Structure 1
């Protein structure tokens, strides 16, 4: 008998051997249970067992997943990552019940089949499986030989005529044809290659594009082999087209490409691939385009090309990642991750400001940009100022505008109590029964660390932070912040909870490896008065301090307030997450000059601060440089305005005292902020002329906000005999 039409062509387009293995596993499970539907867990076990049994018998199998050496080392949980591919490919005949976790043939089809159909289907799947492996065994295409042929022959070929050149034909025709025969290259993938148009290209390439999202290397996302201009190496990359984005101009184009890189890295596993900008193709400008636009890559040096199996495995891994990305783009509602946004940073922040304005709140110009840059530079920010200025509300509204609310658990308010004296008040404690009781902060960290939530930003507002001594209850968090390191595409820290606080094995397993995830942002609000505690330099070093002391009371809600239509826009964590942890991460880039100019200014300031032991270290230098780099990338503020805010928020909070040395330091810093020389000998005796008309004094200042604060601090010193950034 012949198979029904619904079954006769299901293996025509093969994605590895997964389709055949899935059908065999399902039929075996149905035969064992006598049911039309199979438990998904049982199906996974049978799916894996077929690979393991073939491997044990010495029969050919596809390469194991997740870089495992044998299928015997693969676990059931890992099978979940690959079984969705054949299930989706066979969706015309299979149906899945997500509620009770079963899968089977569609009922309306199954009811028309007799037992002979299932027996023939089993034979069909078995024959196609063996045929598939035979075809793989005897294929004449070698990826290693193809890459090596281009690397060794391309430079001599460039001295030959371009038209009808044998190497050009080999790259444009034979390589795409050979790649298309690989079992994991499905029909939706278009393969094209180029050695130039009319003249030889400096960087030849071979691209693999899914027709659903792009058929041109000028835009969209695709896989591409890129050959270095000197043919010393070839890169297998997941990349983006740069032509269309760069029509906006290099600055805007690069901003878009970098944002897309972060979004794609956030939603894909990319295991085994490199995720940096160390791609060296050419000394020309196009090389920088490739660096900025590349999401992840493998590098192969000409003299150390891996063997055929490794090259095929690497390509298959990248194709699987690419398939996952395409599925996310095509079916965003079915994915855990949000669709890749196309908003620039500036556009997002404009939407945030519109949302806040609609809610009836008004903040000073550029405060939202400053708040964003501060969070981006370091995930710990302090909002300081007199009571009632909207510090806590700013955190809540900013989070809401990005889709983070108390209802979905992405915004949490933690009020500080005056009796907090150690980290247990935030993190948790061991009760009399030796059971670990979670603190309010730990509950958020556990939720934020879940794989399904790692792309979402979580905001924690620690309200009235200095009602208790911050160094006492927040010390563990401050220390852990310093252990941040990049591991793969995640930023991780040392564990937060000491194992001595955990007794049971269950608690150790749950909380022993809890870290500060890179999608958690800590914002403390503080009021400085006689009931609160001052901050130590340990705290100030690790935070940007944004002040709310200059209030314009004659601001009123507009008629558009509340009734306006601005809605929150969901933001991926890539929008806020730090791109750099150490200066070396970005020093050798187009920002090198900005870093060196900023450092020169800080060296001058440090020489002044050293006389009162308030000079800064590398931590603050790096944080200020990162702030300025993120600002330049997003073009939010002028460079002078950004540096002004960093002086105000990172340098001046360290200064306090009553001595003549403090006065001299403030006057020297005032000269820098005003951009002119002062008669310091007279001002050391009486600085009253500075604040007689502060507005006039700072109207032409290089750094007006810092200058105004310094004048205020000098006035407090003259009138009270003591000064501090924190006096209001």
Structure 2
């Protein structure tokens, strides 16, 4: 007969070994006396004898609070200790204080024959052996001392693939997960930085009922001092959101108020509740100090033994569990997260860290067996940062969709967690309803595939996560017909309450029911959503209007090297980009919406870039392809981000922008189009190319036409802007041979 469910559930919540030992002690006593109730004192003695015998055998066991040996524990303390498992098992056990006996509740006892009692005994023994095995092999003391001894010198070494990174991201979470009181309700993660070494490395334990990221909510975390003189076990709270929302001074005041509230809710008797935690002298680590609710300090070279460390951790986790139980049962969790969830905590990423993060993304893509041209990942990143709408164009099979998927995957956004969505465009899409949704005959709103993602992305608990939407083959239908509403809403981006927000995407006339109004009302495009469209340019597709081109960077995938083979050394690279999964969406979100946002700090670069565009515009006016302020601002933002993050030279960056924002606008069959292309080619080649910019030299060079020298593996002429020069050569070829040219038909 199977055990009653109330009995099988007793070990679901992982705590100390006390419950298992108590059950085994009770079963031994019941068998010895063949009674339904046995002496409580005898059971307590068996309980104590177990721990004394294990310690005498040299095995690690849970310690009595404040003592190294169970044999030193007084009887009064033993009574307090055993009360913990008695209370935890009160739904199946009964203690009679009048005759000092203990046994199972009568309704449980009736279901426990010898067979069932043996099952329960095996279950308790299995749990106890598993618990003790975890205690034996795990040396938390050794890991903490190792980190403090090696981290300072490690920061002088290459960040990528470093052993300490693996220790924090993989080894330590795996080892801690084996501790019996850390079950599946907890997420464990560590970090030594994102692309560069962190000033304060950390190892966090998060209860998934209230948070799954260190960027919000409350959690338990080991914080290492910058000088590695100490490590602190802390009860902590998300920090950057209130600072971002309220400013540093008011944000600090908010955190201190929250600290007092939590300290009032919990005893935290075994922890320090003062302000004496010291991680750094200045910088971001001070935020961690302010957000700390309570802490235990371990000094380098004097970290206590594993028994004490695990006891401390278990005590802190018990306080954490009580806190989460309280806020979730009373509903206070929503109030608690009101500020943090609205804005989410950013990691305050430093500009110099971006290069390292992009390197990790590239490494992830290469490990998957895919290779893209030099600077393409940087260009894709800068394009997304400039505007959350990017077009990837080119022939079929060049990896456009794969780039989006792998880039998103490296940042922790996958189809499984809903942060990456592929939406195949259909040829019969003729209005926004196919994408956004429609009202059915019953009056209910039926959301489209894009609307469903936007609803999920704007949820408070998801506000910090990046969401990628890939519109596959988006020009199979006319983009202006089904995408116009979204393009218009994107143009309404504005700063409100420290976030980028847009006007509503779903008209209120579509939402008749109160349920629909709650779910879809006031739905704009959240700042954590990034749209990427892939397009194939052939006879089955539709061209883009300037309205679409003005609002996106167009990355082209037409130049393919079929002799690029997988590099096994890349496949074997050990660097793990998993820590990027916690990267805040602000890594991709635009910092500027209007040029005035960036002008003062980047005046010289903005003026230089604008002067170039003025000269180009003078040429484009001849074919009515000149650009306006929207394109001017987008190009300036791209150039500013590139300079901030030091990803490419200024000429390389401008080359990409000339290729992606200017050339897609040019098409036609008139001689004026040829004149514009030739003048642009002259500027793209620059001085010293050795090429006379005329049709004859471009098309009929004695060695080979210029456009073929880029395509056939020959050495092309030195060019100031080689990407644009190559494209211009192909466009001129089309014009010469077919009498018509376009960016899309080269």
Pick the TM interval, shorter chain: 0.5 to 0.7
Q: Deviations over 1:683-713 (max 9, x none)?
A: 3678514771344895321111101101110
599, 604, 622: which is aligned to 1:587?
599
Q: Match for residue 537 of structure 1?
A: 546
Q: Distance in 2 between matches of 1:677 and 1:562?
A: 41
Distance 1:684 1:271, change over 3 A: closer
Q: Distance in 1 between matches of 2:419 and 2:348?
A: 19
Other structure's SS at 1:474 match: helix
- How far 1:328 sits from its partner (Å)? 10
Q: Match for residue 461 of structure 1?
A: 470
In the alignment, does 2:254 pair up with 1:317?
yes
In the alignment, does 2:584 pair up with 1:572?
yes
- How far 1:505 sits from its partner (Å)? 2.5
Distance 1:272 1:518, change over 3 A: closer
Q: Distance in 1 between matches of 2:693 and 2:586?
A: 52
350, 357, 370: which is aligned to 1:348?
357
Residue 415 of structure 2 contacts residue 421 of structure 2 at CA under 8 Å; is this kept in 1?
Answer: yes
Other structure's SS at 1:408 match: coil
In the alignment, does 2:655 pair up with 1:648?
no
Q: Deviations over 1:555-609 (max 9, x none)?
A: 11122465543433212111111111111111111x2111110011011101110
409, 415, 421: which is aligned to 2:430?
421
Q: Distance in 1 between matches of 2:451 and 2:497?
A: 24
Q: Distance in 1 between matches of 2:657 and 2:724?
A: 9
Aligned length in residues: 445
441, 448, 453: which is aligned to 1:439?
448
Q: Match for residue 139 of structure 1?
A: none
Q: Distance in 1 between matches of 2:531 and 2:238?
A: 25
In the alignment, does 2:339 pair up with 1:326?
no
- How far 1:506 sits from its partner (Å)? 2.1
- How far 1:273 sits from its partner (Å)? 3.1
Q: Deviations over 1:64-88 (max 9, x none)?
A: xxxxxxxxxxxxxxxxxxxxxxxxx
- How far 1:451 sits from its partner (Å)? 1.0
In the alignment, does 2:526 pair up with 1:517?
yes
616, 639, 645: which is aligned to 1:634?
645
Give the TM-score, by structure 1 length: 0.56
- How far 1:467 sits from its partner (Å)? 0.4
Other structure's SS at 1:362 match: coil
- How far 1:502 sits from its partner (Å)? 1.8
Residues 353-372 of structure 1 mapped to structure 2, 5 A cutoff: 353-372=362-381
Q: Distance in 1 between matches of 2:557 and 2:644?
A: 26
Residue 606 of structure 2 contacts residue 636 of structure 2 at CA under 8 Å; is this kept in 1?
Answer: yes
Q: Match for residue 504 of structure 2?
A: 495
254, 259, 269: which is aligned to 2:242?
269
Other structure's SS at 1:491 match: strand
- How far 1:512 sits from its partner (Å)? 1.8
Q: Deviations over 1:312-355 (max 9, x none)?
A: xx873364486897359999999987894878111111111111
Q: Deviations over 1:452-482 (max 9, x none)?
A: 1111101111001100000011111100110
Residue 480 of structure 1 contacts residue 493 of structure 1 at CA under 8 Å; is this kept in 2?
Answer: yes
Q: Deviations over 1:387-441 (max 9, x none)?
A: 0001000000001111111111111100000000111111111111111011111
660, 665, 680: which is aligned to 1:669?
680
Residues 378-389 of structure 1 mapped to structure 2, 5 A cutoff: 378-389=387-398
In the alignment, does 2:723 pair up with 1:705?
yes
Residue 268 of structure 1 contacts residue 324 of structure 1 at CA under 8 Å; is this kept in 2?
Answer: no
Higher Rg of the two aligned structures:
2
Distance 1:681 1:400, change over 3 A: closer
- How far 1:678 sits from its partner (Å)? 10
Residue 256 of structure 2 contacts residue 291 of structure 2 at CA under 8 Å; is this kept in 1?
Answer: no
Other structure's SS at 2:744 match: coil
Q: Match for residue 671 of structure 2?
A: 660
- When the two chains are superposed, the root-mean-square deviation of aligned CA atoms in Å is 3.7
Q: Deviations over 1:189-211 (max 9, x none)?
A: xxxxxxxxxxxxxxxxxxxxxxx
Structure 2 stretches lacking a partner, 5+ long: 1-82, 98-198, 202-224, 227-236, 259-286, 296-315, 325-336
Residue 470 of structure 2 contacts residue 531 of structure 2 at CA under 8 Å; is this kept in 1?
Answer: yes
620, 631, 635: which is aligned to 1:624?
635
Distance 1:563 1:686, change over 3 A: closer
In the alignment, does 2:629 pair up with 1:692?
no
Residues 47-86 of structure 1 mapped to structure 2, 5 A cutoff: none
Distance 1:697 1:716, change over 3 A: farther
Residue 385 of structure 1 contacts residue 549 of structure 1 at CA under 8 Å; is this kept in 2?
Answer: yes
Q: Distance in 1 between matches of 2:363 and 2:252?
A: 45
- How far 1:675 sits from its partner (Å)? 1.3
Residues 146-161 of structure 1 mapped to structure 2, 5 A cutoff: none
Q: Distance in 1 between matches of 2:504 and 2:739?
A: 45
Other structure's SS at 1:619 match: helix
Q: Distance in 1 between matches of 2:533 and 2:434?
A: 15
Residue 386 of structure 2 contacts residue 637 of structure 2 at CA under 8 Å; is this kept in 1?
Answer: yes
Q: Distance in 1 between matches of 2:604 and 2:593?
A: 19
Distance 1:317 1:600, change over 3 A: same
In the alignment, does 2:536 pair up with 1:527?
yes
Q: Deviations over 1:122-168 (max 9, x none)?
A: xxxxxxxxxxxxxxxxxxxxxxxxxxxxxxxxxxxxxxxxxxxxxxx
Residue 252 of structure 2 contacts residue 290 of structure 2 at CA under 8 Å; is this kept in 1?
Answer: no
Residues 8-87 of structure 1 mapped to structure 2, 5 A cutoff: none
Q: Distance in 1 between matches of 2:575 and 2:510?
A: 46
Q: Distance in 2 between matches of 1:494 and 1:443?
A: 17
Distance 1:106 1:643, change over 3 A: farther
Distance 1:564 1:318, change over 3 A: closer
Residue 582 of structure 1 contacts residue 622 of structure 1 at CA under 8 Å; is this kept in 2?
Answer: yes
- How far 1:509 sits from its partner (Å)? 2.4
Q: Distance in 1 between matches of 2:557 and 2:629?
A: 27
Distance 1:439 1:702, change over 3 A: same
Q: Match for residue 612 of structure 2?
A: 601
Residue 328 of structure 1 contacts residue 339 of structure 1 at CA under 8 Å; is this kept in 2?
Answer: no
Residues 138-149 of structure 1 mapped to structure 2, 5 A cutoff: none
Q: Deviations over 1:535-571 (max 9, x none)?
A: 0000000000000000000011122465543433212
Residue 243 of structure 2 contacts residue 252 of structure 2 at CA under 8 Å; is this kept in 1?
Answer: no
713, 717, 727: which is aligned to 2:735?
717
Residue 359 of structure 1 contacts residue 561 of structure 1 at CA under 8 Å; is this kept in 2?
Answer: no
Residue 241 of structure 2 contacts residue 345 of structure 2 at CA under 8 Å; is this kept in 1?
Answer: no
Q: Distance in 2 between matches of 1:329 and 1:398?
A: 39
Q: Distance in 1 between matches of 2:540 and 2:547?
A: 21
Residue 242 of structure 2 contacts residue 254 of structure 2 at CA under 8 Å; is this kept in 1?
Answer: no
Residue 430 of structure 1 contacts residue 437 of structure 1 at CA under 8 Å; is this kept in 2?
Answer: yes
Q: Deviations over 1:203-222 (max 9, x none)?
A: xxxxxxxxxxxxxxxx889x
Residue 655 of structure 1 contacts residue 724 of structure 1 at CA under 8 Å; is this kept in 2?
Answer: yes
Residue 455 of structure 2 contacts residue 523 of structure 2 at CA under 8 Å; is this kept in 1?
Answer: yes
Distance 1:374 1:432, change over 3 A: same
